[in-house]
Amino acid sequence: MRLRKNFLFSLVIATLRDDGDLESCLASMADLKDSPSFEIIVVDQNEDAHLVNVVNRFKNQLDIVHIRVDFIGASRARNVGAHAARGQWLGFPDDDCLFFPDTLLEVDRLACDTSLQVITGQTVDESGAPNVLRWKADKTAFDRWNMFGCLTEATLFIRRDIFLQVKGFDEFFGPGAAFPAAEGMDLMNRLYTEFGSVGTCYSPRIRMRHPTKIPPWNRWAVKRFYEYARGDGGLIAKSLQAHILYWGGRTMVSAILQMLTLQGWRSAAFAARLAGLFQGFISGIFAFRLKRKRR
């Protein structure tokens, strides 16, 4: 009988329509020579088997599990990976992320504090400049009110036991779902709702390289802003809590101001964000409020 190996970290990668990113991501993990113990769980949503060879190339360098599924949905895929995981901590890097040599070392350093249940870091571009979000500049223990500048799924690390206690990601949120974003914020918000307080730490010393996709400002950027905002609108409708409403209000005001600069595709993207927030909110009211009342 083969003994079940234990790890400190389980890194769950939900991947779909990969065009070479996963191979680079795995290569960066293979270079983590002095890191704490970790396994990788690739949850493959592709219909074909083109990633089998990619994963097999790293089998001798990494503890890696390849799970092929017959559905599309990042949150559902991550939940499948989390249930198969053997690590004390879960991470959910995107398939186009690259790890720095010290990424897991920094998480491990903080994870020694047993009061912490969630640890997050920032994404950076090829030059090392923060991207994707307006990340906080300093290390902080974040809460409901300031989590929005401390959290994205790719740099989220959470104790596996607490993740499973709240049943993981809400599969209504995230790429491929009805509300294509905000799954990390929804997860964090449910942790606060369930447990009252959560031991958290955001550290800018935890870095993961992630490509900057916007700018350029173009038709694709407009569509992306709209889709992500639908997720945000759905979260607002689901939660209707003071801190979520405050964040939603600030997002709307910022989008209006940026739209009024009349800078071509850039302004169009922020107009799309407003439209997406409204559409996601209305759909969310139906999905999370009206349906509930009918049951």
Q: Look up residue 64 and give its two tokens.
A: 């890696």
What per-residue confidence (pLDDT) applies to 19? 74
Tell me what the mean pLDDT of segment 127-137 comes to.
94
- Residue pLDDT, tens place only, 76-119: 999 999 999 999 999 999 999 999 999 999 999 999 999 999 99
CA end-to-end distance (rounded Å), the chain:
47
In the chain, which segments carry CATH 3.90.550.10? 7-209
Name the nearest CA neighbour of 143 among 184, 196, 93: 196
Sheet holding 200-209, edge to edge: 64-68, 38-44, 7-15, 87-91, 156-159, 118-124, 200-209, 98-99
List Cβ neighbours of 116 (8 Å cut-off, separation of 6 or more). Answer: 110, 199, 200, 201
Percent of the chain with pLDDT over 70: 97
Query: Does the pLDDT value for residue 294 go beyond 70?
Result: no
What per-residue confidence (pLDDT) applies to 17? 87
| Average pLDDT of the chain to the nearest whole number | 95
What per-residue confidence (pLDDT) applies to 44? 97
What per-residue confidence (pLDDT) applies to 1? 36
- Residue pLDDT, tens place only, 158-203: 999 999 999 999 999 999 999 999 999 999 999 999 999 999 999 9
What per-residue confidence (pLDDT) applies to 183? 98
What per-residue confidence (pLDDT) applies to 2? 43
Q: Look up residue 49 and give its two tokens.
A: 């088997």
- Residue pLDDT, tens place only, 22-61: 999 999 999 998 899 999 999 999 999 999 999 999 999 9
pLDDT band at 4 (very low <50, low <70, confident <90, very high): low
What per-residue confidence (pLDDT) applies to 292? 60
What per-residue confidence (pLDDT) applies to 20? 80
* Structure-token match 């996963």, residue found: 22
pLDDT band at 157 (very low <50, low <70, confident <90, very high): very high
pTM: 0.94
List Cβ neighbours of 286 (8 Å cut-off, separation of 6 or more). Answer: none
Query: Does the pLDDT value for residue 269 go beyond 60?
Result: yes
Query: Does the pLDDT value for residue 208 go beyond 90?
Result: yes
- Residue pLDDT, tens place only, 210-259: 999 999 999 999 999 999 999 999 999 999 999 999 999 999 999 999 99
What per-residue confidence (pLDDT) applies to 66? 98
- 7-209: CATH topology: Spore Coat Polysaccharide Biosynthesis Protein SpsA; Chain A (3.90.550)
Strand-pairing partners, residue 124, are 130, 209
